[in-house]
Amino acid sequence: MIIVMQQDATKEQIEHIIDRIKDLGYTPHPIYGEKRTVVGAIGDERGKFRLESLASVPGVDAVMPILTPYKLVGTDLKGEHSVITIGEHTVGGDEFMLIAGPCSVESREQIITTAKAVKKAGAQYLRGGAFKPRTSPYAFQGLEEEGLKLLKEASDITGLKIVTEVITPTDVLLVAKYADVLQVGARNMTNFSLLKDLGKITKPVILKRGLSATVQDLLMAAEYIVSEGNEDVILCERGIRTFETATRNTLDLSVVPLIRKRSHLPIIVDPSHATGKRPLVGPMALASIPAGADGLMIEVHPNPEEAFSDGAQSLLPDEFSELVKEMKKYLKLAGKRL
Ligand code: PEP
Ligand code: MN
């Protein structure tokens, strides 16, 4: 349920409502808007008639149900878009989040060369998997903690923020020690114990859409993280499985404007995994901007032919740099900046 306070409600009246919500066994989620405060009451729906009686408390304007199952990440409770702060950067507002780097961290030279190149081109974040969720158990699984250390070194040299994947609850604290943003891969979108643990940390999380996940599945996965206390979730569209085999996945760009209506969380696009093909990455990256994306994640490798994973979809540093130049024109039209 949502308790909508009157515009002139006092601080004491708001605090009183928060206490009453707790007394009734619900978790209060106050949202202090510019004009008025609304307080979400999250908990067992069966006792909602008791919350309805709060409508008669001084300072309360209305009590109404939250209609979507994703109560905290939906727009019923919070209408304004969330702006997430990551060091000196933000995502969800005017600043466009540009993440670039190899699929996997392979060596010191590879990651540092790539970091310097993507930084020069204009990216603010370096990506690179140290723990890789591969479809085959025989494929390269990542350098693990050694990879995290190399990412940290690349970050110290370039100032880029680090985005890297965590694949198991056991590694959440280890990855959080090195990463600025933790990534949940498509194959782990429904790993609920991982999502719950990520809800308990204070670092932002990029949540990638599962291979066959609906928009509601994705938003419910985000709800798992936010309901544990971590509100800093960034959604990522990375293509879904369809009957089409000409591309690696099918980029469902329509979810970008759709999710911007249904959720206040930022949404970014990964055109690399969505298409799987280098010539398609640039056009789909650019198309994401007018669609309303808050950022892009793009695979870049200094020598894609020798990449341990995803060479075919990785841009060369020069190609990435050209793409960023092109991107800037679209960002200007969209009222965004790098
Ligand atoms: C990745 O970004 O490294 C990755 C494995 O992507 P996805 O989870 O979207 O397949
Ligand atoms: Mn990859």
- Per-residue model confidence as pLDDT tens digits over 109-168: 999 999 999 999 999 999 999 999 888 999 999 999 999 999 999 999 999 999 999 999
pTM given for the model: 0.95
Write the burial class of residue 294 (CB in 10 Å: 0-12 exposed, 13-18 middle, 19+ buried).
buried
Give the residue, by CA position, lying nearest to ligand 1 atom 4: 185
The residues, ordered by sequence, that sit 6+ positions from 220 with a Cβ below 8 Å of its Cβ are 69, 70
Distance 103 CA to ligand 1 centre (A): 8
Please give the single-letter amino acid code of residue 186.
Answer: A
- Per-residue model confidence as pLDDT tens digits over 236-259: 999 999 999 999 999 999 999 999
Q: Put residue 65 in one of left, alpha, beta given phi > 0 → left and psi -120 to 50 → alpha.
A: beta
Q: Is the CB of 129 under 6 A from ligand 1?
A: yes
* Residue 116 vs residues 68, 100, 107, 153, 165: alpha-carbon distances, Å: 44, 11, 14, 12, 21
Q: Which atom in ligand 1 lies closest to the alpha carbon of residue 183?
A: 2
Q: Are 169 and 193 in contact (CB under 8 A)?
A: yes
Bridge-based pairing of strands 205-208 and 89-91 is: unpaired
Q: Is the CB of 186 under 6 A from ligand 1?
A: yes
Distance 22 CA to ligand 2 centre (A): 44
Helix crossing, 278-291 with 317-334: angle to 10°? 20
Give the residue, by CA position, lying nearest to ligand 1 atom 3: 103
Name the token pair of 282: 């640039």
User: What local confidence, expressed as pLDDT, does residue 69 receive?
Assistant: 92
Q: Is the CB of 209 under 6 A from ligand 1?
A: no
* Residue 107 vs residues 5, 128, 153, 302, 303: alpha-carbon distances, Å: 56, 11, 12, 12, 12
User: What local confidence, expressed as pLDDT, does residue 45 receive?
Assistant: 78
User: What local confidence, expressed as pLDDT, does residue 35 receive?
Assistant: 86
Strands annotated E in 153-198? 161-165, 181-184
Q: Which atom in ligand 1 lies closest to the alpha carbon of residue 236?
A: 9
Bridge-based pairing of strands 267-269 and 233-237 is: parallel
User: What local confidence, expressed as pLDDT, does residue 44 receive?
Assistant: 84
Q: Which of 326, 338, 321, 306 is nearest to 117 (CA)?
A: 321
Mutational pocket test of ligand 1: of 134, 136, 187, the residue with most ligand atoms within 8 Å of the beta carbon: 187
Name the token pair of 41: 């009451």
Q: Is the CB of 271 under 6 A from ligand 1?
A: no
User: What local confidence, expressed as pLDDT, does residue 33 receive?
Assistant: 84
Mutational pocket test of ligand 1: of 188, 209, 251, 270, the residue with most ligand atoms within 8 Å of the beta carbon: 270
Helix, strand or coil for residue 297?
strand
Say how many residues make up the chain.
Answer: 338
DSSP secondary structure code for residue 146 in this structure: H
Q: Are 72 and 41 in contact (CB under 8 A)?
A: no
Mutational pocket test of ligand 1: of 132, 208, 309, the residue with most ligand atoms within 8 Å of the beta carbon: 208
pLDDT in tens, the chain (338 residues): 999 999 999 999 999 999 999 999 999 999 998 889 999 999 887 778 889 999 999 999 999 998 899 999 999 999 899 999 999 999 999 999 999 999 999 999 999 999 999 999 999 999 999 999 888 999 999 999 999 999 999 999 999 999 999 999 999 999 999 999 999 999 999 999 999 999 999 999 999 999 999 999 999 999 999 999 999 999 999 999 999 999 999 999 999 999 999 999 999 999 999 999 999 999 999 999 999 999 999 999 999 999 999 999 999 999 999 999 999 999 999 999 99
Give the residue, by CA position, lying nearest to ligand 1 atom 9: 186
Residues 334 and 127: their CA atoms lie apart, in Å, by 25
* Residue 307 vs residues 111, 116, 137, 270, 310: alpha-carbon distances, Å: 12, 18, 18, 18, 7
